[in-house]
Structure 1
């Protein structure tokens, strides 16, 4: 297992993170414990969670598992989505953030969260309000660093500018969606992260299971995340995603590697990525992703795999600098 530094924080994490969204939902407590122990055995020290995963049960299970090894692991949690029926139990207001972090700390039986991530963009709350709340939590020692997920690059950079001007703690970690079939992050998010020296942990490196070899143009299992959960089936509904999955599965077979291993390793090979976030419902699903920790994707293989799906258009329509043609 290789260890990488998260941006400029000095915190070293494994080159794979484990996402605990299945804890307490598709994985019971015993299965969750078995997967956690297997990850620790493999060298993973970064565990990603959120207050809304399994209605808070994910954090509770993770807390019970890290209780005897808190100094050895790095944990994240997130705030934004509704955590109750009350009208203010959502968003990125100071009120919800302050109440949210206290609840997460209690559930995880810890006195600090390494990276506290805002889970989405709140159009009703000023960014300044959110950043001041996060900065206060850092001053109180309840979080070490702030992170951001599912924001556009311009929103993140606006926040970084506000933080710099106001001498507030900035976002040090980004958690974007990124896989061979979801590559929008390549356009601005990943270049921005490198320029700003921010860590990146990418979620859904398997494309919701699309890149595991179980799916394709003519392959549709009767159950699975892409079948059972509407948000995933909608997210990957385009036919070209299934066509890319077929090409990718064939490529993996040609190179005698499990598709899940190769999909995670391809994400890991991007120089902007600190760690892909792997997830599983059981130990069997977990194993192929764990192999990716030591699987090397060289530049040639990386480019070959990239060619199997559509490369997103550049951030601007001016491509002269890229092509060397001036008009």
Structure 2
């Protein structure tokens, strides 16, 4: 950017004046905090605690890993001096989620990460405890070359407009909220008594025959999406029992006022479209179904990216587990910036988690009916 070969950097950058030569920033997109995440199998917690609750001695002679050239390094050095405690700082050429995985698996003792990234990954957390570092919130934005003032001002005007209309908050909410999946035995118990999975079995069976998709799979998907709540609206804007996004609903010609029959029909139609595209890559129905559910959750484009990465690096497609690994790799710069990838970065870990939960429900349904 300093040499005017890049005009704009739309990654989420910490806004620090004079951070680099010839680097200017957009208006703040949002604020965030730094969080220290420790391996903790004794008292694990999803809650981010205050730093005052941390036993400082637990950091003595330990190693804290952070991404290379992270702003966290300066803050950790300041913290070390102020606390008069000795710990080492490791710089790793890895994405924050990858380092977090290493903490959860006890390969690394601790890391520091953006609060927003940690919150998105909340459903996957285990064996960790988290603490806000004792520093103020900081602004996150985009960066511009100092040679591009007109571009910077134009983008800032657009961002202000999106903020005023609430669109920016909607988009941030869409990508920064965790996916919580509430599991319950209530429906299973009901099924055992009545041999009926849902209030809509008849509709599900009807469209299952039309599209050649096991109706129990769609029942499991809907159960985990909405618990069959016809009035459900997610934090990301998805609505109805099939939790369809408004832009997708427009494509298929339905709305929140559409009948249950029509909503369920559209869920089958969407899954069938995915099936037509994906069936060439999978030799068995189980793997195909998992890829279809992943596409429903994340979008077909990201799944095709993972398939293309698998074909490029492995030579062929073996199963869904292989594709899911490449999907998770799309959180790493090395892979989401690969020329074969058309849809960029994604946090595939959450989708893999969702697929596993849906498939667990589906397999329970198959045993019941």
- TM-score of the superposition, structure 1-length normalised? 0.28
Choose 1 or 2 for highest CA Rg. Answer: 2
Q: More helix by proportion, 1 or 2?
A: 2
- TM-score of the superposition, structure 2-length normalised? 0.25
